Chain A
Amino acid sequence: MNSAISLSLSSASPITVRSYDGAASSSSSSDLFFRNNSAPSQLRFCGLKREAFSGCKSSSNAVLLKQLRQNTKISASLSGNGTPSKGFDYDLVIIGAGVGGHGAALHAVEKGLKTAIIEGDVVGGTCVNRGCVPSKALLAVSGRMRELQNEHHMKSFGLQVAAAGYDRQGVADHAENLATKIRNNLTNSLKSLGVDILAGVGTVVGPQKVKYGKVGGSETVITAKDIIIATGSVPFVPKGVEVDGKTVITSDHALKLETVPEWIVIVGSGYIGLEFSDVYTALGSEVTFVEALDQLMPGFDPEIGKLAQRVLINPRKIDYHTGVFATKITPAKDGKPVTIELIDAKTKEPKDTLEVDAALIATGRAPFTQGLGLENVNVETQRGFIPVDERMRVIDSKGELVPHLYCIGDANGKMMLAHAASAQGISVVEQVSGKDHVLNHLSIPAACFTHPEISMVGLTEPQAREKAEKEGFEIGIAKTSFKANTKALAENEGEGIAKLIYRPDNGEILGVHIFGMHAADLIHEASNAIALGTRVQDIKYAVHAHPTLSEVIDELFKSAKVKNDVSCAVAEPIAV
């Protein structure tokens, strides 16, 4: 029952119940920043939920819900930033105002902590300014282009559309405008809560002490009871690659969409590479993937990856080289194209040379941890990442915990996702305000916003099999297809599957993977189930509106075969 306990612990995190209005209301959505659309007044709800879950070691949802209902009656009022503990300027100082820092700050204010956030660049960090947000704007365009260009698809609807075209600047502006809007929302939400936004580069100068200031300008030292490092990451550029920002670019440049090259090489076929291949091919580019591993999309469940390749790669104007490293990439100049030298990943022998119009480096992201003054607290980074324990507490070079210093988000490398950073931040705030909290990373969903989308939570099939072998249990696999779903067929989007990996002996959900229309939105039923410890045999009785895509997931739970059909739900009836 170890796992059950950890699950219920994680369910105590307000992240799973946090309620915001606005389009993307769940904070476990990949695009977390949307939440700042909400008015701060709603935050009081979170505190109550936290109360509701406190001390709860049972995984029974019914009990939790019941407590929750009772507690909602005593609504605590909350306003503004708190007053600092004695002897400190602040209770909490967060270095980095990205999505992780923002999430932590909001929760800290709610807990009554006097909070400051230091930002050396722009509020919103990578996600809002150079990541998830602008890329979603581009993907929204590419999705529509793809649909309008698909004559067969339109014809099957009985629609007639003249040749679809686009204005590159218009598309780029849409991305830029969205980022600006979200950035302003984020800034306003911090300001309205009274979080001090301190401009400048933050550096740890000693225990509980941080200085900040503009480079070359005056610096101010402040003290804080607790410090969270949330400095995020930058695009990783392997050596031998010369980035000029025009023909050899990273995602930072690509999101500005200054050009749409005729032929672009994308180095790396993970989330970033895949999403950009979707954008570029929809806008008319041809794409060549260069992947160091033996297969494309190495991070995904193999079965999903295979299907995704069949739908997202093979029919499109994309080819690929796998099992090769790009050792040298030279930007275009003097009338010469971009050249890319490839070597075999195993034998290291030269394989090929590509000559193309542009190259996008999407080989992942590197932690942005330089100049943080970590040496002042004896912390050594590992490949740039700041070592932390499961509670995000920073570990120093001797392997001991550094008191009052935490690191969340991409900088610790545990799970490089915006919403994971925010969840980690909330977990830390819980701890510094006196409540032990461990985040269950297996309940954090991930999504890739291609057309159709890919999403996942928990373990992949090979990971689950490995775990099963080690711990001596069986696993079961259930699959359902979008082809059998009414809503998907109505949309002419029958391509896709959902896959459930579970334990047939007790019905525990180990992982869910979805490839298909709106997969990124569909995953949350599964991630919530994992976070709350809900078993297959219980959730399968939940009712889904017909006809909706969510029935794909409904079918998935229903088709799982749990041997010991013992329900662990509902100890007592709940009035509704």
Chain B
Amino acid sequence: MSQLLNSSFTPTTPSLRRQCHSLTPRKSTQIQAKIREIFMPALSSTMTEGKIVSWIKSEGDKLSKGESVVVVESDKADMDVETFYDGYLAAIMVEEGGVAAVGSAIALLAETEVEIAQAVSKAKDQGSVSPAAPSQELPVEPKVPDSAPVAAVAKAAEALTASTHPASEGGKRVVASPYAKKLAKELNVDLSGVVGSGPMGRVVAKDVEAAVVASAVAVAEPVMPVTSAPGVESGSVVPFTTMQGAVSRNMVESLGVPTFRVGYTITTDALDALYKKIKSKGVTMTALLAKATALALAKHPVVNSSCRDGKSFTYNSNINVAVAVAIDGGLITPVLQNADKVDIYSLSRKWKELVDKARAKQLQPHEYSTGTFTLSNLGMFGVDRFDAILPPGTGAIMAVGASEPAVVATKDGRIGMKTQMQVNVTADHRVIYGADLAQFLQTLAKIIEDPKDLTF
């Protein structure tokens, strides 16, 4: 409730205002502050988060007490919300369509015009860390094309493929269907590089999705068993499918990233024991590995970062572990979002759901394109060690081999048998250095060798 108390807003609809009075004292506790934060108000007793329907005022507008500033959608209704203070709407932190928790800041109110600039910089600081500003539909700022992971892929693709659309005027004009455009905006895909497969070579939704998959999936190994597949005629030339074409582009793209590899051997006896114990509760080995990786990433944020423009680190706010899965005719990487925070049982359930969806080809773009770190496991095929190619837009990928009994010498001079697996991380050396990976792997080994943290 303490967050509510600071709200400088109250709804204008009388019936609800009444309700709000009891919840929200009119006096702000931040009277001294010249720059006030505008909070998501509680419009009903059951409201936990609100969606910004529209901003009635724009940044820089002068506000006077009692004026409606923003329309908020709660669990009950859309409500005009008015300000208690005179001032200037300095910065909007949650854009239209964005969702914010009750009590979190959605905008900044400056008392004088002079303070607007100050407020704007404050908003920027907060915006980068604030978890309360995820706007799904509307990216806060249209990103520089090069900074988007897919865009990079797309750029490369452009050089490789000429669009065949007659209206594209040699690639100057992009012809994309309404839904393709919408998706591209949502997923941050630069359409100028996406090859259209629709009528007249127009870009349609599935092309955009393929471009995203490709960027997320660009893992090197062909996970498909290479036994001569039925239906393939020897001596024939079969053109790539859209997805295979995208994978191909990504593979070429990856050559532009200076990668290196660090390997580690991890003893898995304790993990195996834990797995046996909780297997009956639906926990899978994949979920356990993803969880362990996520916990290690939480301690080494740099390994979860990426280099998007060649000039800076992009530290991701969430730890989303993508896991490569072989599917019919290709490869996809369903993403376990916030794997460090979600408990192992939920994570296992989520994984099962994602795999089912992947098989049915029903994965939504956000379920396969938002990974910040990738796992690829070929252990089930008996592979003991291998090497993965880094998917563009991410910083590192870990190749996991089979867990196998090995004879080892222990410190006390004995010889014993332990179950061990080899992991091999490929990383972008522009942001992740050898020592970073070494420390990350050390932490990971500790977690796996003493897995009590995995179950909380």
Contact = CB atoms under 8 A, between A and B. Distances in A.
Given A353-B167, A355-B166, A355-B167, A479 B179 contact: no
B3 interface: no
Contacts of A484: 76-77
A275 to B, nearest CB: 18
Contacts of B198: 262-263
A355 B53 contact: no
A379 B78 CA distance: 52
A326 B151 CA distance: 32
B419 to A, nearest CB: 42
B445 interface: no
Nearest to B178: A319
B443 interface: no
A51 interface: no
Contact of B181 (A319, A336, A357, A481): A319
29 contacts: A262-B198, A262-B199, A263-B177, A263-B178, A263-B198, A286-B177, A306-B54, A314-B137, A317-B177, A317-B182, A318-B178, A319-B181, A319-B182, A336-B166, A337-B199, A337-B200, A355-B166, A355-B175, A355-B200, A355-B202, A357-B199, A479-B13, A481-B77, A481-B78, A483-B75, A483-B77, A497-B78, A559-B14, A559-B15
A559 B78 CA distance: 16
B167 A262 contact: no
Contacts, number: 53
A314 B138 CA distance: 12
A376 to B, nearest CB: 51
A310 interface: yes
A320 B398 CA distance: 44
Contacts of B199: 262-263, 337, 357
A287 interface: yes
Ranked nearest first, the 6 interchain pairs of A and B with the lowest CB-CB distance are: A481-B77, A317-B179, A319-B178, A286-B178, A355-B167, A286-B177
A363 interface: no
A28 interface: no
Interface string A334-365: 00110100000000000001010100000000
Contacts of A306: 54
A288 interface: yes
B180 to A, nearest CB: 8
B177 A481 contact: no
Contacts of B166: 336, 355
Interface of B: 13-15, 53-54, 75-78, 137, 165-167, 175, 177-179, 181-182, 198-200, 202, 204-205
Interface SS, A side: strand
B45 to A, nearest CB: 13
B209 to A, nearest CB: 14
Contacts of A355: 165-167, 175, 200, 202
A481 B178 contact: no
B172 to A, nearest CB: 12
B167 A288 contact: no
A342 to B, nearest CB: 13
A318 B166 CA distance: 23
Nearest to B54: A306
A514 to B, nearest CB: 14
A343 B410 CA distance: 80
A306 B96 CA distance: 13
- Of B53, B178, B198, the most chain A CB neighbours within 10 A belong to B178
Contacts of A262: 177, 198-199, 204
Nearest to A288: B178
Nearest to B75: A483
A287 B178 contact: yes
B67 to A, nearest CB: 16
Contacts of B175: 355
Contacts of B200: 337, 355
A150 to B, nearest CB: 14
Given A310-B53, A483-B78, 5 more contacts: A262-B198, A306-B54, A337-B199, A355-B200, A481-B78
Contacts of B178: 263, 286-288, 317-319
B356 to A, nearest CB: 14
Given A262-B198, A336-B166, A355-B200, A286 B179 contact: yes
